[in-house]
Every structure is written in C-alpha cells, then in structure tokens.
Structure 1
Amino acid sequence: MAFIENKILEITDNELRKTISDEVKKLKEKTQFGLVFEQHIPEVVPIYNSKIIVKSLVALKKGKITDLYRVKKINNDDVELRSEQDRSIISVRLDEVFGVKKFGDPIFPALIPMDYVDNDSDVTHTLIEADNFHALQLLEYVYPNKIDCIYIDPPYNTGSKDWKYNNNFVDEKDVYRHSKWLSFMKKRLNLAKHLLTDDGALIIAIDDYEVAHLIVLLEEIFPGHECNVVIVNHHPQGAGGDNISRTHEYALFLTPKGKKVLKGKREEGVAEEWSLARSGRDRRNYRFGRPNSFYAIHVDPETLEIKGVGPKLGKDDEFSTDDTEEGYKRIYPISKKDNSQRVWRYERSSMIKKIDQNLIKCTPNFSLKVIKKSNTKYRPVFSNWYGSRYNAGTHGTDLLAKIFGESADFPYPKALYTVYDALEAVLQDKKEAFVLDFFAGSGTTLNALALLNSSDGGKRKSILITNNEVSEEEGKSLEKKGLYPGHPEWDKNGICRAITFPRSKFILNGKRDNGDILEGFYSTGKTLALEKTRKVTQLGFVDGKTLNGKLKKQLVSLVGITQTKIKATTPFFVDEKNNKCILFDDTQVDLFLEEIDGKVNLTNFYIATTNSSAFRVIKEAIQESLGTYVILQDEEMPLSKGFKENLAYFKLDFLDPNEVALGKQFNKILPILWMMAGAKGNPQKLYNENERIPYLISEDGSLAILLQENKFRDFHSKVNEINNITIFIVTNSEEAFFEMKSEFSTNKVMRLYHNYLKNFEINRYWR
C-alpha cells in the first residue's frame, strides 16, 4: 500500500490524483493491516446439563459437536432430530444428545450454587465453572468497567493438545492451529476489555509459540494501551526445543497509555540504623564535652517501648539509675567497658522529636538505636524476573503436591510468586480491588491474591472461571466405560472439580477435607528485621604488625578482603564494599575505632594478633562502638494457617427467558444479583424456598430486592437509609419503576427482570 501511495504522488492530473487517493484511503480504513488470520465462525459450546426441549439445538455425544441437530419431537425417552446441515431426520435416545450454543446466540445465564467455603470473612472469592466466553458475557453485565486487574494464563498452543476448539483437542498437525487460537483469544479479549476500569491492567502469561501473534492482536484490540513484556525465568533447568532449551516464558502487562499503573516492590522504613550513643576518643563524645546530650531515656522493660526522656542535667549533676515510678528503665549513654559517661547523638529537645517520630528503638539488650527513615518509594518493575522465586517446579508443581498431599494431575501449574509479583505490581495500592482470571487452571491466582491480602491487610476479591474438561487420555478412558460429559463420574474428574475448587478450598482452610493439615511455608513478601551481633575473629596464628606488604596481602586474601592499597605500613584496612575490615597492629586500636566510628555497614572484623587479652579488649570496644546490626530476612507463613477468606463456587447454567419474565427463575438469578451488589457474605443465606416473600434484604445490608410492588412503603422504610446498598425492583411497568426509583437516596437501583432480559438479548452479537 505504501508503494501505491508513492506512485499516486507521481500523478500529474490533480483531480485524478485526489480521486485515487480518496479511494485508497477508504480501502485502508476497511482493510486489516498487521495480523491477518482466519476468523473461525462459529465456535460451538456444549451445555451438557441443559434441559432438552423441542427446537433445542443439540449434538450427539458420540458424534462431532459441529454436527448440529434441531429437536423436532420428544417421545418419552426418544428424540427426533433434524440435521442443520442436510435437513435429514434421525431418531436417538434422549440421553444420547446434549445441548449446544453457537457463539452469537442469545443466552440468559444463571449461576447454580455448587459449594461454599465459609471462613466468616468479609472477603468472598467467586469460582464459576463454565466456558469462559459465556461467563465473560455474564460478567460484562455484572462488572462493566469494574475489574481492576485481569490475569490469565491461556493455553500456549504448543501443539501438544493443550486446548480444545469446538470440543476437539488441537494438535501440531492442524494447519489452522494458529488462526484457531487467535480467533479463540480474540473473542474473549474483546469481551474482557469492557470489564477493565480506566486504569485497569491486563496481564497475560504466554511463551514463544504465540507471543508475537498475541502482541499484535493486543495492539489491535486495545489501541489505547501499551504492552510491556517481562521475561520470567521459570524453568532454569531448561526444556523443549531441538536447538534451544527454553528456560523462560513471558508476562505481558497491558496498561493504559500515559498512566502510571505498574509499581515494583514498595520500599519504606529503615534506610540506616546505628548506635545512639557516641563513641571514640574525641572529647565531644563525653559528658563533660557535651553536657546537654547526657540524660536518661525511659524504656518499658516489657515491651521495649520508648516512653520519654529524663530531665535536663548539668555537667556535674547527680542522676538516678533506678527505675522510674512507672517502672520504666532509665538508660544513659554510659560505656559498658569503662563506665565512662558518654553522650547521645542528639541533644534532649532533638531526642524528644525523634521519639515522637518513632525513630528511636530499644533492642532486647537495652541498647538504643536511631533509625533513619526513607520516604515511601517503589522499585522499578524490571523486564527480567529470575531467581528461585519464579521456579515453576518448586513453587508450582511441588506446591500443588503439598496442597493435595500427593502428585496432582495438572501439567505446568504457574509458580505462585510469579503470579503474586505480577498482581502486586498492579494492586499494591488497591487493597479492595476486583481481580479476574478466566483461564483459572489450578487456581494459582486466588492463592496468590489471598497471600497478598494476608501480607498487606488487603481485601481484594478474585473471580475465577474455568471449564471442567478432562485430559484427552482421561476422556478416552471414561468413554470406554460408556461415560460422557454430564455424568457424575465424568464430571468429578474435570479440572474444576478435581483441581481448581479443592486447591482453593484447601489453601483457604489450611487443611484437606480429611483433616490433614497442609505442610510447608509461604514467603509472605514481608521482611523481618533480625538483630545480629557483629562478628569479630582473632587471627591468632600471626602477629600482624610484623608482616610485610606481601604477607599482609596474602592474609587479607585469605579472609576475603580486597588487596587494594595494602602496604607494609598499613596498621589496618577497611573494606566497606564487602563489609569487612582487618586490624594488623593491635597497638593502633584507638585510631582503628575512630576510623570505623559510624560505619554501621561493617559486620566482619579480623584482628591479627597473638595476644588473646588484647583481642578481647578490642572485640568489646568494637561491639560497644557499633553495637548490633540488623539484617532483613523473608518472613514465612505456614500453609496450615490458611486464609480468613470465603469462596462461593457456582456452575453456569442457561435459562428460558419466558420463565425468567414470569419470575419462575428467581433463585437461579439471585447469585448474579449477589455479585452485582459486591459479592458480600454467603449467597446461600439469601435463598427462601418456603414462602412467597414480598422482599429480600441481605444480612450485611449490601443487597435488597422488592418482589411485590404493594409492599414498597415497608421495603423503602427498611432500606433507604442503608449506605452503599444495591436495590432491585421487580415490576412490569417502566413508569412505576422510575417512580419508585426516584424515592431512594442511592442511584444503585435496577429493574428486574426487564434489565436482565434486555441486556442479554442485546449482547448476543459477535465481537
């Protein structure tokens, strides 16, 4: 096209040039540039448990799902079918067919409760067993522009039958493999984009088989977003490929252009920490040199909390070392070595300000430290993630085995901390976010989100969607037994019921159904500050001050200190880069102590002396001068602790719109209304099957439904003052609905069933 446009510029006739140029412009607007692939239509989805009625669209359990039939007659257990292809008529048993939906057909979804994990929490996750396209259509109604983050790990299309199209596994021999995958993904991503908030992020795990195609597809579907690629080194031992053993996969972060959405790990708090008492031989470090910096600091001996400071003292004033009347310990800057009266780093007024700012801390051995705090900032999100944290064997396959107590039949689960870090990059400042995963697999996203909530006190909720397919091998084995999808024995082996839900339930409860507690530990993402004593080592086999330069270099090399600038006359050497130092001449200890004063990063000291008495004195002086130091260590949490969060598990079903309009399917629509009201509490507690109730109000005040218009006044008096409540009104009259709606203070008022039916009738088009 660019070549043609250049040739157009060479046309000398102005009118002809303009005419052709305008026509080319129209062609460009209609023509797809970049990624071109077959749009496979239709994609057909099995509905195994749907009610078969006359005019239902069905397929044969022993046939291809793409060979479709329309139900003509039903006679008890037999059914007469007409082929959609050649109009031929066949008769089969009713239990030999199942319902199907073409993409684009209108659907009227319902959620059937399957199970509930109740941990008495105000955080409830949702798991939906369904084909994800129809589930996404439902979520577009429930959560339009309300999802803060979508994380998906779709099939990688490796050719090893890792996914199905039209109910058939796609293998490497399928010439349409790539275009089927792209068509499959495009339909779902077109729906997903309507769910994201304005600053929401889409994260997709993918590998080399489709990453290039996927990036171009994302650019087409999300023109207002940018795609950032992160390399995740998840398989350090390497796998696959005749020429290259792959050790990596990718995480694609799709974020709105011009918005700062991604943030690395938060860094705040302690930047430095050092002893509060001054040391060294300078007179300014003694009471007589700086009397205003000598006073008591009061510490609660039980909690080590700083409670205040003692009175101002003159340079010769006497002072009490006994506990205060409140029982607080008085701590003075007095040397433990020689009882000399030293000084604090700050005068009394400055010290009070530091205490008020929580910058002074007392250690278990009652030494005091000053903490220099940094402002909150974030590390950048780097484009290459590596390390044991992302190992899919250790934190994916092995973790799943710990959760189930045995090897789980699920290939290539994602490493928990890969998902954790990806979610944290988007959500660390969004503690009440909604997260969606519509390729939920083994349930790693819920696990990672629960761990993130536990680490930072968040109340984020996840919505997981997964089908209940079995592997090809398992499917063939079950078919030999005469079993097909929809049979209880088949369904219990499906991914949702055998892996996703059990894993989610076990990790929330911290134990399996048989009562066995889960073994192992999570890394919480937090760090613990552990107080450590500086290591002082005597090199008693040599008198350092007698060594020449060459021997000194050999000695420092022995203990891992750099040889740079070591000379024969060097009495000591400080290697701050490696946090080490060495004293050769034990008679130069005063100069050595002045040199290391304040260098709190030094942790390892080597004293080259044969004099053990001198070594002990030097060791005490070093430890008094610098005190202890703090190291940061990853905090761990046992899997057995579980998470105080709930999980509602549903199966997607489809309703007859006429029955909906007549109010006959209220209980099946109720979970959808529960989700729209924020998915709070146990949805099973909303059901009332015993009587025709005039209205329903949830216990937590998040949801209210008026079922009988003549009870409006009573209903209004009960719900109008409840904050953040979502209200549904069942009425056939549009005029009556708007009249009732106008009397509520909230704007979250919707009409049933008209709103529901209208939405799903309109949203039946292709995307």
Structure 2
Amino acid sequence: MSRLTDLIAQAKERDLELGRELEREFKVLSARRSFGLNFERHRPENVELPGRPLRKGDKVRVLPPRGSTTKGDQRLWKVLRIESENGMRLARLELIGVADPESASVAVDDLVVVAEFRDYIYPGLVSTGKVERGGDKPFHTVINGENFYALEALTYTHRGRIDAIYIDPPYNSGASDWKYNNNYVGEDDLYRHSKWLAFMERRLLVARQLLKPSGALIVTIDEHEVRRLGLLLEQTLEGFTIQQVTIVINPKGVTQGYLSRVEEYAFFCFGPECKIYPGDDDLLTSKDSTTSDDGYSRPRWKGLLRSGDEAERKDREQMFYPIWINPKTKRILKAGKYLPLGEEPDFNVKDEEGNVAVWPVRKDLTLGRWGIGVYTFNDLVKKGYVSLGAYDKKRKSWGLSYLSEQLRKEIDEGTLVVLGRDPNTGVADVVYEGAATRKVRTVWHRTSHDAGAYGTDLVGKLLGNGRAFPFPKSLYAVEDALRIIIRGKPDAVVLDFFSGSGTTAHAVMRLNRQDGGRRQSICVTNNEVRSSEQYALKAENLRPGDEEWERHGICEYITKPRIAAAITGRTPDDQVIDGDYKFTDTFPIADGFEENAEFFTLTYETPVSVSHNRAFARIAPLLWMRAGSKGRRIETLPDEGWEVVDTYGLLVNLDKSAAFCQAVGSNGTIGIVYIVTDDDRRFQSVVRHLPDAVEPVRLYESYLNNFRFSMGR
C-alpha cells in the first residue's frame, strides 16, 4: 500500500467521513496526469538485520517459530527495555503505528532488528576476509549489506569520486526476483511497477551524488521495465546525456508472446563532463579488427576458401575455378572459368609468362570450393579487395582472403576508407575512418556477449562443485561497457551496488591486466538466500542470522568465492580452473590476476559509540576507503596518540601534533589525515602545520554530520 493510501486508511479509523472525503479527493488527483513519469512513492522500505545485536529503542519483528515455513508477524515493535528472567533474555515490546498500543514480552533470540529508510544510520564495516596478489595495488572491496545503506556509507568515503557505476538491478519480471518491505513482489501485485520505481529512485538519487561530473552510470534492464526506467533516469539525472543500447545476449532467443526475444538493454547516462573512449570494435559491424603500429585499426579479411557446411567441390560446381597469380610479384591476375565436376584440375599448369593457377584445396587435401563466384572475384580483384597470402606446400595452394560484403558496405558508408594501394599487388589498404579507435554503436551483436556461455557457464566454472547463480551477465559484455567509460582512466573507481555474482569486479580486473591499470571496484550485495532454497532451510529449523543459513546467502556462497577464484585461478575447493579467457587478451583462467580484494559486512553503529571512540574498529575501514583503499590500515587507536600509514594518518592525542605533522610532511604519499577532536580551534591549529596538499578531516564531526542528514529519502 502506498504512503498516501495508508494515511487515508488511518484517517478513516479516526473519522470515517473525513477519511472518505480525503479518499475521493485523492482519486481525483491521481486520475490527473502531468507530463512525465508519475508513480506513487510508497512508504519507505525497511530491511531486516539478522545478527545485529538488540538495543533499547530498536524496531523489531517477531520471528516465526523455528521449523515454521510461514512468513510470521510482519508488524513492527519498539524495544522498551531488555531484561533477564529465569536465565532467558526477554525484550519488552510495544506495537508501533496503532491507536491502542499493544505490549508483549518476547525472547531476544526470537526477534530481528528492522531498519526503516526514514531512520538515520551510522555505518561501519567489519572485514570478513581478503585476497592479496596485487602488491601495492588498491583493494577491490565487496560490501555485504542493504545497498541503500551501503550507498549512504559511500557518501562519506566516495562522494563525487566515482568514475563509473554499472548496475544490473532486479528486472521486476514477477518471478520473485526482488523484495519490497520483506515481501517478494510478484506479477499479481497491483503496485508492482510503482514499488520498483520508488525502490530504484531512492538509490539513483544517492548514486548521483557519488559520481564525478566526468563519470557515467550504466543500467541494464529487460523489456519489463525498460520504458519506465528510461523516464525515471531522465527525471533523476538532470544534465546527463542518456542513450539506450540494445545488446544481443541470447542469439537462440526465448519465445515470449509472438516473437522470440534475443536482447536486453543498457542505459548509458553520461555526466555533464563525461568523455568516452571508443574501442577497437564498434560492437555491431565488423567483428574483428587489429590495430597496427601506425595507429590505424584494420578489419580482418575473410578467407576465400569456403569452410564449414557445403564446402566441398560438389556442393557448388561453379565455385571451383582457377585463380591466376604471379608467384614472383604475388599479384593476383584474374579467375578463370569454372571446371566442371567431371574434369580434374592441373596443379602444375603455367602460362607463357610463368603465372600459375591456384585451386581450392582443403586442409585434408580434398577438393573444396571458393566462397564467391568468378564474376564477383574478378570485380573485387580490380578494386584491390582480394589479397594473396603464403604458399602451402602440402596443399600445393596459396592462401587467399577478401573483403566481405559487410566490409565493402562499410566502405560505401564511409566507416572504412581506402588509405592506399600496394604498388606491386594493387591490394587496397583498408582502415577505419578517423583513428585507431571506432565509435561504439547503440546495437551490440557479439558472440562474447552470450549470457549463457560467458555468464552462467563461466560462473559455474569459477565456483565449481555445482554452485550456480541465476542469469549472471556475460563477463565480456560488462567489460565492453566499462571500457567505453574508463579505458583512458587507469586509476578509475567503479561501483556496482547490485553486484550479484561479482561480474563487475571481474571485468575491472581484466581491464587492468590489458593496460596495466590500477582501477578498483566497489561491489555491494546482500546475503539474501534464494527464495527456492529458503523453504528447505526453514524446515531444518534454520532462519536468517544462523551461521548455516548465512552460508547459503548470495554474498557468502557466490560473490566472495567468485572474486577470490578470479584472482587466484582456483575454485573454492582449491581446484585449478580449466579453460582460457577468450576474445580480448586470451590467457588461462588458472593464471588469475595480480589484484587485491577485501570483503566486508556493513554494521549499524550508534552516534554515542562513534563519538566516544568505542566504534573505531568498525569505522576504521571507512577511513581507509576514503584514503583510497591502498596499503596498510590503522585498525585500532594508536597507543602513541597518532599513526601514519601508506596513504593517510590519524591523530588522536593533539598534544602529539608536532610529531604527527612532521611525520606527515616527510611522507610524500599521504593524501588525507583524520584528527579526532571536538575543539575546532585546536583542529585548525593542527591544520596550519600540515602540507597544503593534505586533506584534513575532523573526527568525528565530519562522520556524524554526514549521516545526520537523510540522503535520498
């Protein structure tokens, strides 16, 4: 139910006639439609926080009994106090949002804390493991937590510092692929679309604050919400240039309705100062090209000898003909008449000038055929569109290649140009217009973007042991999308707050390997257990928060092990991963990557514990991330009153500021320092002795102020 209809219902309970009058007016207003996307902003989402310790004042739900597969009580209660009775910890509760408050006493173990989006949060992070193979490279980070709250945490560490955001949100297909207020949103939900839009809008508003003006947001989607998402992006990203890309992800197609769907979509939202980096492939036309030392990108010519089906001589009699060449100058002269099936070719025939005939002979030494007819071949020779390769002694034949019909069409369109012709052979030097790069098109059709082969199958190979993740993106499709935005940014920061299996982090690692970059990714995912598995776990007396339950969640079971496997080249069972990466930069998957990654779980702190230094261990990772996620981290409050590490410093005891400032000044890699004080005058006194290039941050004033404001609500 939307927030307005909820309030009207409450009004009816108190004054029926007033409630009905409000309802009539609401229906009149809701029937009006102004220009643009109109939808109901449903009551703010809430999220359950299993495992979070219970505190006085918390909002909670009462869990169903262990072993029960029912949904349980969805009402919200407030914790008035926590007591011990007969060795059991009990919480005294009061029902929230009712005219006549109801009280209850419930065992603490049977309660789960609930956070509402209208509530302020004070986030922290707890490390749950790391993989280190990248030396002094920055760390990729994975955050397990509700992504809205994780985005708010990033407003403290990365506001205006993200180069690219790539997200693959729930598609709202009606197949229980996402939750709203702890309920799966099915296709029979009358508010399905408006709930999804409200869900997305809240996150996009915060994400926009994280992007650099030169950054870009990429959102993938399918046909269920593509039209509404386009309008939502226009309304929330004012000043951005938005383009829609169609990507063929399943060439076999999925029959839906009358037609077979093969595609999904990606919205590219370019910031007001964004500059893109075209690639060597426009992702639609010619599939292959190479870049030479002269800076030009050239297409790959097609082999003239037919291969695959119907490639034998008998299949196309008129395409078995001799091609006359000059073996000294390697100039192609012309094609002769085709040889009827009843006649045998002469492999030693020469004319008076020493020119020889080339016949179509296959690798198994059987007679094949050429890929085009005599007339077309001779026309292409005149234009310089046929090239002679090396001589094959075994086959007594020469390699030949030509410009395909598609490439010839691109010449006519101006995408390809003839740079010149070889003075001896007459063969055209065909290059892509403009530079070594090509402008990416808005329709992508590449084998590498097949979500089955290079998404589902690849994830299965990385994880081994039958682990699977539903509908992961093709690694190479994500890589191609990001390349446009960050190709020329070797230190880019990439965010994915619907991380799923971790494909975005994997793609960033591949891009780093290709050009020696030091880019880092930040991936956010929750630890939700798949709906199809929850029933069985509940039947085993398990519920969220239990170690065995959490072990089956997305983050623990899929995301973390997938990223670790990509880096190490070994499955979670320590087996060497078979196979090679394909397409750009082919190498064994088992080689892994020289990268670092650390995994965190989001925590929820109180402002009192933060301001009194009792939450420093959980705040410490945020300070490290704000300093670039590089090098050593200050994990605990320093005994000396200050500490300096690779990229940042911490001053707790201001009486030690002289030694601290001297250490910072002598370390050329420090970019930020955190100074813990409630006294602004003493803070400014320390700042005056710091190098100008160092950013001073006052703790915990900057942290608490950042989260006292409601971000994107």
TM-score, normalised to structure 1's length? 0.67
Q: How many Å separate the matches in 2 of 1:261 and 1:711? A: 47
Aligned to 1:118: 132
Q: How many Å separate the matches in 2 of 1:412 and 1:740? A: 53
- Which one of the candidate residues 68, 72, 76 is aligned to 2:80? 72
Q: How many Å separate the matches in 1 of 2:673 and 2:47? A: 33
Describe the SS at the equivalent of 2:142: strand
Aligned to 1:711: 656
Describe the SS at the equivalent of 1:269: coil
Q: Give the C-alpha shift of residue 373 in structure 1.
A: 10
Shift in CA distance, 711/393, structure 1 to aligned 2, threshold 3 Å: same
- Which one of the candidate residues 46, 52, 59 is aligned to 1:50? 52
Q: How many Å separate the matches in 2 of 1:32 and 1:740? A: 55
- Which one of the candidate residues 227, 242, 257 is aligned to 1:227? 242
The aligned amino acid for 2:270 is T
Aligned to 1:692: 639
Aligned to 1:673: 623
Q: Does the Cα contact within 8 Å between 1:510 and 1:642 map onto a contact in 2?
A: yes
Matched, 1:730 2:676: yes
Unaligned segments of structure 1, at least 5 residues: 1-26, 282-370, 527-635
The aligned amino acid for 2:95 is S
Q: Deviations over 1:613-658 (max 9, x none)?
A: xxxxxxxxxxxxxxxxxxxxxxx11100000001010000011111
Shift in CA distance, 509/741, structure 1 to aligned 2, threshold 3 Å: same
Q: Give the C-alpha shift of residue 485 in structure 1.
A: 1.1
Describe the SS at the equivalent of 2:512: helix
Aligned to 1:583: none
Q: Does the Cα contact within 8 Å between 2:145 and 2:524 map onto a contact in 1?
A: yes
Aligned to 1:510: 569
Aligned to 1:434: 493
Describe the SS at the equivalent of 2:200: helix
Describe the SS at the equivalent of 1:378: coil
Shifted more, 664-673 versus 53-62: the winner is 53-62
Q: How many Å separate the matches in 2 of 1:705 and 1:258? A: 34
Q: Give the C-alpha shift of residue 262 in structure 1.
A: 5.0
- Which one of the candidate residues 88, 96, 99 is aligned to 2:102? 88
Aligned to 2:607: 657
Q: Does the Cα contact within 8 Å between 1:65 and 1:167 map onto a contact in 2?
A: no
Describe the SS at the equivalent of 1:660: helix
Q: Does the Cα contact within 8 Å between 1:390 and 1:415 map onto a contact in 2?
A: yes
Q: Give the C-alpha shift of residue 475 in structure 1.
A: 1.3
Q: How many Å separate the matches in 2 of 1:742 and 1:692? A: 24
Aligned to 1:130: 145
Shifted more, 225-234 versus 206-215: the winner is 225-234
Matched, 1:447 2:510: no
- Which one of the candidate residues 636, 639, 647 is aligned to 1:702? 647
Q: How many Å separate the matches in 1 of 2:158 and 2:457? A: 35
Q: Give the C-alpha shift of residue 722 in structure 1.
A: 2.4
Shift in CA distance, 524/453, structure 1 to aligned 2, threshold 3 Å: farther
Shift in CA distance, 747/64, structure 1 to aligned 2, threshold 3 Å: farther
Q: How many Å separate the matches in 2 of 1:406 and 1:82? A: 47
Q: Does the Cα contact within 8 Å between 1:156 and 1:209 map onto a contact in 2?
A: yes
The aligned amino acid for 1:752 is L
Describe the SS at the equivalent of 1:474: helix
The aligned amino acid for 1:73 is R
- Superposition pairs of residues 138-153 of structure 1, within 5 angstroms: 138-153=153-168
Shift in CA distance, 486/378, structure 1 to aligned 2, threshold 3 Å: same
Q: Deviations over 1:374-417 (max 9, x none)?
A: 98532111111113111111001110111122433311010111
Describe the SS at the equivalent of 2:259: coil
Q: Give the C-alpha shift of residue 220 in structure 1.
A: 0.2
Shift in CA distance, 414/65, structure 1 to aligned 2, threshold 3 Å: farther
Shifted more, 639-648 versus 510-519: the winner is 510-519
Matched, 1:749 2:696: yes
Q: Does the Cα contact within 8 Å between 1:59 and 1:69 map onto a contact in 2?
A: yes
The aligned amino acid for 1:93 is A
Aligned to 1:407: 466
Describe the SS at the equivalent of 1:516: coil
Q: How many Å separate the matches in 2 of 1:98 and 1:720? A: 48
Shift in CA distance, 381/32, structure 1 to aligned 2, threshold 3 Å: same
Describe the SS at the equivalent of 2:36: coil
The aligned amino acid for 1:217 is L
Shift in CA distance, 40/655, structure 1 to aligned 2, threshold 3 Å: same
Aligned to 2:121: 107
Q: Give the C-alpha shift of residue 687 in structure 1.
A: 2.3
Q: Does the Cα contact within 8 Å between 1:129 and 1:465 map onto a contact in 2?
A: yes
Aligned to 1:523: 582
Q: How many Å separate the matches in 2 of 1:722 and 1:170? A: 54
Q: Decide which structure has the larger Cα Rg and report it.
A: 1
Q: How many Å separate the matches in 2 of 1:32 and 1:420? A: 39
Q: Give the C-alpha shift of residue 256 in structure 1.
A: 2.9
Shift in CA distance, 483/43, structure 1 to aligned 2, threshold 3 Å: same
Shift in CA distance, 272/515, structure 1 to aligned 2, threshold 3 Å: closer
Q: Does the Cα contact within 8 Å between 2:297 and 2:437 map onto a contact in 1?
A: no
Aligned to 2:406: none
Aligned to 2:256: 241
Q: CA RMSD in A?
A: 2.5
Aligned to 2:403: none
Describe the SS at the equivalent of 2:518: coil
Q: Does the Cα contact within 8 Å between 1:151 and 1:203 map onto a contact in 2?
A: yes
Describe the SS at the equivalent of 1:91: strand
TM-score, normalised to structure 2's length? 0.71
Q: How many Å separate the matches in 2 of 1:765 and 1:423? A: 27
Describe the SS at the equivalent of 1:377: coil
Q: Does the Cα contact within 8 Å between 1:44 and 1:66 map onto a contact in 2?
A: no
The aligned amino acid for 2:59 is L
Deviating above 6 A after TM superposition, structure 1's stretches of 4 or more consecutive aligned residues are 371-375
Shift in CA distance, 702/65, structure 1 to aligned 2, threshold 3 Å: farther
Q: How many Å separate the matches in 2 of 1:470 and 1:94? A: 23
Q: How many Å separate the matches in 1 of 2:520 and 2:711? A: 30
Unaligned segments of structure 2, at least 5 residues: 1-28, 65-70, 282-290, 299-326, 331-428
Shift in CA distance, 233/486, structure 1 to aligned 2, threshold 3 Å: same
- Which one of the candidate residues 457, 467, 471 is aligned to 1:398? 457
Shift in CA distance, 658/506, structure 1 to aligned 2, threshold 3 Å: same
The aligned amino acid for 1:744 is L
Q: Does the Cα contact within 8 Å between 1:451 and 1:524 map onto a contact in 2?
A: no
Q: How many Å separate the matches in 1 of 2:141 and 2:208? A: 20
Q: Give the C-alpha shift of residue 120 in structure 1.
A: 4.1
Q: Does the Cα contact within 8 Å between 2:464 and 2:573 map onto a contact in 1?
A: no
Q: Does the Cα contact within 8 Å between 1:104 and 1:765 map onto a contact in 2?
A: no
Q: Give the C-alpha shift of residue 162 in structure 1.
A: 0.6
Q: Give the C-alpha shift of residue 714 in structure 1.
A: 1.1
Q: How many Å separate the matches in 2 of 1:153 and 1:388? A: 20
Q: Does the Cα contact within 8 Å between 2:277 and 2:487 map onto a contact in 1?
A: no
Shift in CA distance, 93/258, structure 1 to aligned 2, threshold 3 Å: closer
Q: How many Å separate the matches in 1 of 2:166 and 2:712? A: 23
Q: Does the Cα contact within 8 Å between 1:46 and 1:65 map onto a contact in 2?
A: no
